Structure 1
Amino acid sequence: MTRMAARLGSLLLGLLISGFLTASPAPAREPYALIYNGPTADQASTEAISSVVQQLGLTVRYIANLDDLPTQLGDARVFIIGGTDDDVEPLLQRFTPALRTTLKTYLSQGGRYLGICGGAYLASLGWPEEDRFVEGLALVPAQSDGYDQDFEAKIYPVTWLGETRQMYYQAGPSFALAESPESVTRLAYFEDRQLAALMSTFGAGKVAVSGPHPEAPDSWRAEALKGDQMDRNIDLALQLLRELLSDRPVK
């Protein structure tokens, strides 16, 4: 072999090795649920939702500072905000116009959002507050309002997909649907037929909201009026999250 041939062979070998290394796929990122646990988040609700998420095999990542949302949201399977303090407006105000755009872009491109109680208020079109109307994030085509205007924890009968369950409730919303091109599934009703939970599309994404707490563990019975009547409803929370994460269309 001549020196020129040897050099060409070495060059070709180097190019092949370089091309192989460059073409190697990046390791797949582990799917995760992004759960808000910052100011105004209720720790017990956050922990209960985290437990449900982990039962589905998803890794949990927490976000306390919403300024980090743009860097954390893109690879998340779902963004979750659970129960909050009684006054949810301080959290709503943390969603700057830029953060609202980030969240809505994520959803419109196929992302998922789950809001329970306080997180459901946030996702709504808004709610009445004394002599004014508070505009929400408008992730679902529904206005929200306090179901019983009482901050005491209690157990209410809720008909969820046709089955009546005794569910933990504390100052969560009911919903009134507005006209929208988005598809909506009515998931649950309170005893007086006010809407208690729903799922809707948001572009290519999905959003689910619930006034009552299907994720409530058995330990919450002690905190609620008539707590001994509470059913174990974690199966509903699992079902809700599975459906939210699925590719099945909202009807």
Structure 2
Amino acid sequence: MSGRPSVLRRRRVLSGFLSAAALLAAGCGQPEAEAKPPVHSAAAPLALVYNGPQGCAECGPAVADLLRQAPQHFRVEYVGPGTGKPLTAAVLAEAQLYVQPGGGQDLDRTWQDLAGSADVVRDWVRGGGSYLGLCFGGYLAGRDPGFGLLPGDTHGYAGSPGSTVPDERDTVIEVSWRGQQRHMYFQDGPTFRLNEGADAAVLATYPNGAAAVVVAPYGKGRVGVSGPHPEADASWYDEKGLTNPDGVRMDLAYDLIRATVSR
């Protein structure tokens, strides 16, 4: 569950879309993008990005950049300890999307900072909000520890039966996304084991058929989770000497965001 190479040993969860910020352990990390994000009006949908303590200072900003450049052109605000904006019902009430980015390899430690807001997040999603979890944030959508937002639970893909990934090293993995073979950046992300008959859409599967990207309802809301990193930009691949056979494209990330916020 560690992430891109960095002095912080992070887990790449949500850092790719930025040519500039980064993710880590179940998320990731990247440098800050040179291009300034577009200016959005107050009418644009609001996305809240968790940016509290998680061992990855760049993960939140990376996701923020991605969301600002997405077709929906979200406004972005950070939430969590140290941001000046706690994760409360009143704060969530103003948002359309909540994103849980990467933050390290220690789920239990990160959960200590999130557990007090778990009921608030669950109630908000149940009432119509949207949760997006990438890699580390995907793990946290599961249980023990986690928000318990999925009709099933999460498990590590690397080293699992039939897995094409033997260990935690950063790699490029092939998935079947809506029936099309695609390649994605991967670093110790989860697979999603859904309950039999679960009301969920599996957008992508790993080579062994396990669910890699899932969108599922939760009450009136929706939960989107991904084990691989659809947000990874070219700098991620360059830093690790990896190549994506499809070219580095953001269409899968935008597809996941659209599926997560659509009703």
Pairwise CA RMSD: 2.2
Q: 2-side partners of 1:43 and 1:231: how far apart? A: 27
Residue 56 of structure 2: aligned partner: 42
Q: 1-side partners of 2:117 and 2:138: how far apart? A: 17
- Output aligned runs, 1:116-195, within 5 Å: 116-125=134-143, 134-149=144-159, 150-179=167-196, 183-195=199-211
**Taking structure 2 as the reference length, what is the TM-score of the superposition?**
0.73
- Counterpart residue identity of residue 202, structure 2: R
Q: Post-superposition shift, 1:216?
A: 0.7
Q: Post-superposition shift, 1:29?
A: 6.3
- Which structure has the highest helix share of the two? 1
Q: 2-side partners of 1:68 and 1:221: how far apart? A: 34
- Counterpart residue identity of residue 63, structure 1: V
Q: Post-superposition shift, 1:225?
A: 5.8
- Counterpart residue identity of residue 154, structure 2: S
Q: 1-side partners of 2:124 and 2:57: how far apart? A: 26
- Output aligned runs, 1:40-119, within 5 Å: 40=54, 42-55=56-69, 56-65=72-81, 68-70=86-88, 71-96=90-115, 98-119=116-137
The Cα offsets for residues 26-47 of structure 1, whole Å up to 9 and x where unpaired, read as: xx86531000112115344433
**Taking structure 1 as the reference length, what is the TM-score of the superposition?**
0.76
Q: 2-side partners of 1:208 and 1:29: how far apart? A: 24
Q: Post-superposition shift, 1:171?
A: 1.0
The Cα offsets for residues 4-23 of structure 1, whole Å up to 9 and x where unpaired, read as: xxxxxxxxxxxxxxxxxxxx
Worse overlay, 108-117 or 30-39: 30-39
Q: 1-side partners of 2:244 and 2:201: how far apart? A: 30
Q: Considering only CA atoms, is the larger Rg found in Structure 1 or Structure 2?
A: 1
Q: 1-side partners of 2:249 and 2:102: how far apart? A: 16
2:201 is aligned with 1:196: no
The Cα offsets for residues 152-181 of structure 1, whole Å up to 9 and x where unpaired, read as: 11111111111111110011101111247x
- Counterpart residue identity of residue 90, structure 1: R
- Kindly tell me the number of residue pairs found equivalent between the two proteins: 210
1:199 is paired with a residue whose SS is strand
Q: 2-side partners of 1:162 and 1:43: how far apart? A: 35
Worse overlay, 148-157 or 225-234: 225-234
Contact 1:52–1:238 at 8 Å: present in 2 too? no
Contact 1:155–1:225 at 8 Å: present in 2 too? no
Q: 1-side partners of 2:255 and 2:261: how far apart? A: 10
- Counterpart residue identity of residue 191, structure 2: S
- Compared CA separation, residues 225 and 138, structure 1 to 2 (3 A): farther
Q: 1-side partners of 2:210 and 2:108: how far apart? A: 23
Q: Unaligned 5+ residue runs, structure 1?
A: 1-27, 126-133
Contact 1:214–1:236 at 8 Å: present in 2 too? yes
Residue 7 of structure 2: aligned partner: none
Q: Unaligned 5+ residue runs, structure 2?
A: 1-41, 160-166
Contact 1:185–1:198 at 8 Å: present in 2 too? yes
2:173 is paired with a residue whose SS is strand
- Compared CA separation, residues 188 and 63, structure 1 to 2 (3 A): same
- Counterpart residue identity of residue 218, structure 1: A
Taking CA–CA contacts closer than 8 Å with sequence separation of 6 or more, which of the two structures ends up with the larger relative contact order? 2
Contact 1:165–1:231 at 8 Å: present in 2 too? no
- Counterpart residue identity of residue 48, structure 1: A
- Counterpart residue identity of residue 150, structure 2: V
- Compared CA separation, residues 153 and 59, structure 1 to 2 (3 A): same
2:242 is aligned with 1:242: no
- Counterpart residue identity of residue 227, structure 1: T
Q: 2-side partners of 1:230 and 1:47: how far apart? A: 26
Q: Post-superposition shift, 1:221?
A: 0.5
